[in-house]
Copies of this chain bind each other. A is one copy, B any other.
Amino acid sequence: MNFLDLLAYAGIFIFAITGAFKARTYKMDIFGAAVLAFVTAYGGGTLRDLLIGARPVSWVNDNIALLLVLASIVITFLFQLNYRQFRRTIFFTDAVGIGLFTVTGIEKSLAFGLNDTYAVVMGVITATFGGLIADILCNAVPNLLKRGELYATACAIGGVIYILLKKIPLEHHINLSICIIIIVAVRIYSKRKRLSLPEI
Contacts and interface: CB of A to CB of B under 8 A. Distances in A.
Interface residues of A, number: 55
A80 to B, nearest CB: 10
Most buried by B among A56, A114, A117: A56
A184 to B, nearest CB: 19
A47 to B, nearest CB: 10
Interface stretch (A25-33, A83-91, A173-181): A25-33
A197 interface: yes
B200 A30 contact: yes
Contacts of A61: 113-115, 118
Contact of A52 (B24, B56, B113, B196): B56
A98 to B, nearest CB: 14
Contacts of A121: 66
A60 B53 CA distance: 10
A200 B53 contact: no
Given A137-B136, A139-B140, A29 B196 contact: yes
Most buried by B among A24, A77, A199: A199
A35 B144 CA distance: 10
Contacts of A2: none
Interface string A99-138: 0000000000000111101100100000000001000111
B31 A152 contact: yes
Contacts of A132: 137
A73 B138 CA distance: 28
A164 interface: no
A60 B114 contact: yes
Given A53-B55, A63-B117, A117-B63, A31 B73 contact: no
B146 A29 contact: yes
8 contacts: A28-B199, A31-B145, A32-B144, A32-B146, A61-B114, A61-B118, A66-B117, A139-B142
